[in-house]
Amino acid sequence: MKLSKPIKLLTATILLFATVFAASKMPGAVEWYVANIYPLIAAALSFVSALFPFSLFDVFTITAPLALLTLIVLMIFKKVKWSKGLYMIACSVLLLVAWFYLAWGFAYFRKDFYERCNVQKSEYNAENFSAFAKNFIEDANSARIDFKSIDKTDINRKIEEQYEKLKDVLKIKYPNGKRKPKRMLYESLHTKTGISGYFGPFFNEIHVNSFVLDFEYPFTLAHEKAHQFGVASEAECNLYAFIVCATSNDAQLRYSAYISTIVYVLNNYYKIFPDDYKNLLEAVDSQVIEDVKNMSKHWLDAKNQTLSNAHKAVYNTYLKTNNINSGIQNYSEVVNLLISSYSKLVK
């Protein structure tokens, strides 16, 4: 018996969401996908994307809503039947969801960093964190340099070399496609929301906001590359970026690692040791403190609070929907990961 279009759509929808649900319960199967299937998809999508100097993801985020709006207008003016229009919308949404998960989204259901990389999870207690924080501050002070200028092409090359060098440690497939960073098409809007970079899964593209300060750039680039390697967790991408940059022979990469994560360490220290926070802050090099202040002012001056809050709310919901239970707070959880991995993978 020939199935009707609505039945076919319903069947496809059930199969898709059943597959996503099953993947969320089988991290081992997802690891196999990331190791064997995803590299082929990443290579194909990034090859196509590399043919264009602009971001296909950004063009897509503009054209897709416009196409939807056009279709709705046609439906309102009865140029397209409502039944046909709604069917087209439902098919498009289903296709996008399938594309997202098959192209990259299944990475949200991977095993965590500790299991993937065979790192023993340290207990996150006051004693362990205090020792780590003081050690981290000393290393941040030692890494401090002046960023008079940067060569973004050279930094990109060095980060690629680091990822290739650390592929076995970080359990990633290399080369896993192309990772040429692209500029955001509507950068001003992203700057107002405080976005320094993002990964576009539909075309396997990484983007870095040119508004980032020079000493932020290497870490931000390394973070987005981590996403392209199949790492979904923001905390884990922060960790990968830190390890890649902090273990480099390049002084700019090393300092970028510390200045980009020191705020997370200081914030956690203040929460746990509010009475001792001033003493720790006094141990931070005055130039490092100045860089942190400049970085904060740089983004606050450009940020639109309404847009920023709206973005945080949307992204928080998106992360929680995709197995990141802490939502946008996930970024700061890099501290937990650093406590367990710092002496083993960085020092």
Contacts of 19 (CB under 8 A, 6+ apart): 101
Give the count of beta carbons closer than 10 Å to the beta carbon of residue 104.
23
CA distance 82 to 74: 9
Residues paired with 197 in a beta bridge: 208
* Token code pair at residue 240: 């990968």
DSSP state of 198: E
Q: What one-character-per-residue DSSP string does 124-180 give?
A: --HHHHHHHHHHHHHHHHHH--------HHHHHHHHHHHHHHTHHHHT--SS-S---
Using the Cα atoms of residue 198, residue 209, residue 241 and residue 288 in order, give the sign of their dihedral. negative
The two most distant CA atoms of the chain are separated, in Å, by 77
CA distance 208 to 224: 8
* Token code pair at residue 267: 């914030």
* Token code pair at residue 151: 């060569």
Contacts of 59 (CB under 8 A, 6+ apart): 185
* Token code pair at residue 137: 């501050």
* Token code pair at residue 296: 């904060």
Contacts of 340 (CB under 8 A, 6+ apart): 114, 119, 120, 121, 122
Q: What is the pLDDT of residue 6?
A: 87
Q: What is the H or E stretch that residue 339 is in?
A: helix 334-341
Q: What is the pLDDT of residue 124?
A: 85
SS3 breakdown of the chain: % helix, strand, coil, rounded to 5? Answer: 70, 5, 25
Cβ(106)–Cβ(34) under 8 Å? yes
Q: What is the pLDDT of residue 1?
A: 57
Q: What one-character-per-residue DSSP string does 220-285 give?
A: HHHHHHHHHTT---HHHHHHHHHHHHHTSS-HHHHHHHHHHHHHHHHHHHHHH-TTTHHHHHHHS-
What is the tens place of the pLDDT at every residue in 131-164? 999 999 999 999 999 998 999 999 999 999 999 9
Positions of the chain with pLDDT under 50: none
Cβ(311)–Cβ(318) under 8 Å? no
What is the tens place of the pLDDT at every residue in 212-267? 999 999 999 999 999 999 999 999 999 999 999 999 999 999 999 999 999 999 99
**Token pair 């290399």 in the structure block, residue:** 174
DSSP state of 331: G
Residues paired with 208 in a beta bridge: 197
Burial of 17 (0-12, 13-18, 19+ CB in 10 A): middle
CA distance 145 to 288: 9
